C-alpha cells in the first residue's frame, strides 16, 4: 500500500474494520505509508508549524479515584501540593517571555468554590499580566481541570481561557466502567464535552492507548467518535501503569507495541479530522526516547513543554518513568527546539496556534 492509496481511502470515513486493521498493522511498509499520508494531510491543512503550550501542573489534589492515575485520591503515598498563585504567574510570564504563546493549566479534579475561583483568578491574572507587544491579548490559555458544571465552564471562559482539554479516556462503556469507580460515568463526561462547546471553548479530548482489555476495534470506535463529534483538538497517549494504583500490575502490551499503536492513533486521527490540533504527548516519550518526535512525524502539531516548578514535578507522576521530571525549563526549551528541527518542522513563536478546525467552524477564538 502506498501513501497515495491511504489518502484515497481517507477521502471518505473508512469503516471501523479498516481502522482496526491499521491499528493491528505491523508491516513497516504499510506503517510508513500511513505516516506519510498523515504528514501530507497535516502539511496541507495545518502547515509545518509546531505550537508550544507550556504545561503548568498547578495542583495534584484530586477528589477522583481513577484506577490508572498516580494522583488518584486514594494514593496516600503522594505528597499533595498546590503551587502558589505567585509561582504560577511567574511560570506564565516565563512562558510568554520564552515566546511559547500559550500555556496549559492542569490539575487534579476539584469542584469546590475555592478551587473554581482560584482557577478563575489565575486565568484573569495570566491574561492581563502577559500582555506585550508580541502577545497583545496575552498568552492563550488551555484548561485541563476535569469535569465541571456548565456555570463553572462559563466562568472559566469569561475569565479568558479559550481552550479546554477533557479526555474521554475510552468511549467503550464497559471498559470505561472497569477503569473508573462507579461514581464516574461516560455519560457525565459526554455531557461535560457538550457543556464546553456551549460555553464557547475550543474543545479537546483523547483516549489512553493500550489499556488492559482494550481492542483495536474499541480504538477504531474512539477515532470515529472524534470525527463524529467534531472536536478541535486531541491529546492521547499510551497507558503507562503506576505501581501505586489498582491498575499498577495489570498486564499491558509491550512498550514497542503501545508506542506503535499510539503513533498509529495520531496518524489516523489526523487523516480523519484533517485541520485539528493534535499533541505529541509526554507519555509517548516515556515509552520511547524519541516518541514525541515520532508523534510529530505521524501528524501531531502541538508539544507541551514542562513549566511546573521543579520542586513539585516529582509529585505529579500520573505514571512511572515520566520524562523531564528533573530538567530545568530552559533546558527543556532548547531540547525541544532541537527535537522539532530534527523532524524538519519549525517552532511557532508568540502564536496561540488555535485549532483551524475551530476557526473554520463554530466561532471565534
Q: Which three cell numbers stand for residue 30?
A: 504499510
Rule CB under 6 A: which of 64-103 touch ligand SAM?
A: 68-69, 71
- State the nearest-atom distance from the C-beta of 6 to ligand SAM, in Å: 28
Nearest CB to ligand SAM, comparing residues 52 and 319 = 319
Told to check if 144 binds ligand SAM by CB under 6 A, we report yes
- Binding segment for ligand SAM among 39-47, 121-129, 138-146, 182-190 (CB under 6 A)? 138-146
Nearest CB to ligand SAM, comparing residues 145 and 333 = 145
Listed in sequence order, the residues at least 6 apart from 268 whose beta carbon sits closer than 8 Å to its beta carbon are 19, 22, 23, 34, 38, 223
Query: Among 59, 75, 102, 106, which residue interacts with ligand SAM (rule: CB under 6 A)?
Result: 106
- State the nearest-atom distance from the C-beta of 165 to ligand SAM, in Å: 7
Give the x/- contact pattern for ligand SAM in 214-253, rule: CB under 6 A.
Answer: -----------------------x-xx-x-----------
Spacing of C-alpha 49 from chain mean position: 17
Told to check if 192 binds ligand SAM by CB under 6 A, we report no
How many residues bind ligand SAM (CB under 6 A)? The answer is 20
Helices then strands, each counted (H, E), the chain: 15, 11
Report how far residue 101's alpha carbon sits from residue 96's, in angstroms, rounded to the nearest whole number: 6
Query: Among 104, 196, 218, 283, which residue interacts with ligand SAM (rule: CB under 6 A)?
Result: 283
Q: Which three cell numbers stand for residue 207?
A: 483516549
> Which residue bears the cell 520511547?
288
Query: Among 54, 108, 299, 305, which residue interacts with ligand SAM (rule: CB under 6 A)?
Result: 108
Report how far residue 360's alpha carbon sits from residue 161's, in angstroms, rounded to the nearest whole number: 19
- State the nearest-atom distance from the C-beta of 64 to ligand SAM, in Å: 7
Nearest CB to ligand SAM, comparing residues 176 and 319 = 319
CA angle 220, 285, 122 (to 5 degrees): 90
Nearest CB to ligand SAM, comparing residues 7 and 240 = 240
Spacing of C-alpha 30 from chain mean position: 26
With 0-12 / 13-18 / 19 or more C-beta atoms within 10 angstroms meaning exposed / middle / buried, residue 227 is: middle
Q: Which three cell numbers stand for residue 131?
A: 500582555
Told to check if 115 binds ligand SAM by CB under 6 A, we report no
- State the nearest-atom distance from the C-beta of 182 to ligand SAM, in Å: 17
Nearest CB to ligand SAM, comparing residues 163 and 167 = 167
- State the nearest-atom distance from the C-beta of 25 to ligand SAM, in Å: 23
- State the nearest-atom distance from the C-beta of 316 to ligand SAM, in Å: 8
Rule CB under 6 A: which of 157-176 touch ligand SAM?
A: 166-167, 169
Rule CB under 6 A: which of 302-341 touch ligand SAM?
A: 318-319
Q: Which three cell numbers stand for residue 251?
A: 498486564
161: number of CA atoms within 13 Å, CB side?
A: 27
H helices within the chain, ranges in order? 3-9, 16-24, 28-45, 85-97, 113-129, 150-159, 173-179, 186-198, 216-229, 255-273, 282-287, 291-297, 310-313, 329-342, 356-360
Q: Which of 165, 166, 245, 167 is nearest to 212 (CA)?
A: 245
Query: Among 208, 268, 284, 347, which residue interacts with ligand SAM (rule: CB under 6 A)?
Result: 208
Listed in sequence order, the residues at least 6 apart from 187 whose beta carbon sits closer than 8 Å to its beta carbon are none
Nearest CB to ligand SAM, comparing residues 179 and 296 = 179
Interface positions with ligand SAM (CB under 6 A): 68-69, 71, 106, 108-109, 144-146, 166-167, 169, 208, 237, 239-240, 242, 283, 318-319
Amino acid at each position: 500500500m502506498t501513501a497515495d492509496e491511504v489518502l484515497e481511502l481517507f477521502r471518505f470515513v473508512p469503516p471501523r474494520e479498516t481502522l482496526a486493521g491499521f491499528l493491528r498493522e505491523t508491516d513497516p511498509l504499510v506503517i510508513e505509508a500511513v505516516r506519510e499520508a498523515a504528514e501530507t494531510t497535516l502539511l496541507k491543512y495545518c502547515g509545518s508549524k509546531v505550537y508550544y503550550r507550556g504545561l503548568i501542573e498547578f495542583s495534584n489534589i484530586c477528589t477522583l479515584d481513577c484506577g490508572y492515575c498516580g494522583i488518584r485520591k486514594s494514593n496516600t503515598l503522594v505528597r499533595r501540593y498546590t503551587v502558589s498563585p505567585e509561582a504560577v504567574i511567574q511560570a506564565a510570564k516565563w512562558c510568554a517571555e520564552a515566546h511559547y504563546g500559550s500555556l496549559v493549566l492542569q490539575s487534579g479534579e476539584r469542584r469546590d468554590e475555592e478551587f473554581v475561583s482560584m482557577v478563575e483568578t489565575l486565568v484573569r491574572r495570566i491574561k492581563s499580566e502577559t500582555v506585550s507587544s508580541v502577545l497583545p491579548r496575552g498568552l492563550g490559555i488551555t484548561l485541563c481541570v476535569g469535569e465541571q458544571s456548565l456555570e463553572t465552564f462559563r466562568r472559566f471562559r469569561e475569565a479568558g481561557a479559550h481552550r479546554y482539554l477533557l479526555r474521554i479516556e475510552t468511549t467503550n462503556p464497559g471498559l470505561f466502567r472497569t477503569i473508573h469507580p462507579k461514581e464516574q460515568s461516560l455519560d457525565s463526561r459526554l455531557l461535560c464535552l457538550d457543556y464546553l462547546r456551549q460555553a464557547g471553548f475550543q474543545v479537546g479530548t483523547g483516549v489512553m492507548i493500550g489499556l488492559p482489555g482494550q481492542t483495536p476495534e474499541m480504538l477504531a470506535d474512539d477515532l470515529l467518535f472524534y470525527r463524529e463529534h467534531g472536536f478541535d483538538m486531541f491529546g492521547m497517549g499510551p497507558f503507562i501503569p503506576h505501581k501505586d494504583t489498582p491498575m499498577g500490575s495489570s498486564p499491558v502490551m509491550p512498550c514497542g507495541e503501545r508506542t506503535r499503536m499510539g503513533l498509529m492513533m495520531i496518524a489516523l486521527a489526523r487523516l480523519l479530522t484533517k485541520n485539528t490540533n493534535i499533541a505529541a504527548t509526554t507519555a509517548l516519550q516515556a515509552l520511547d526516547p524519541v516518541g514525541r518526535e515520532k508523534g510529530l512525524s505521524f501528524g501531531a502539531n502541538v508539544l507541551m513543554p514542562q513549566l511546573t516548578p521543579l520542586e513539585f514535578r516529582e509529585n505529579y507522576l500520573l505514571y512511572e518513568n515520566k520524562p523531564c521530571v528533573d530538567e530545568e525549563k530552559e533546558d527543556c526549551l532548547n531540547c525541544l527546539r532541537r527535537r522539532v528541527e530534527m523532524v524538519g518542522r519549525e517552532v511557532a513563536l508568540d502564536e496561540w496556534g488555535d485549532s483551524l478546525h475551530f476557526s473554520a467552524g463554530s466561532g471565534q477564538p
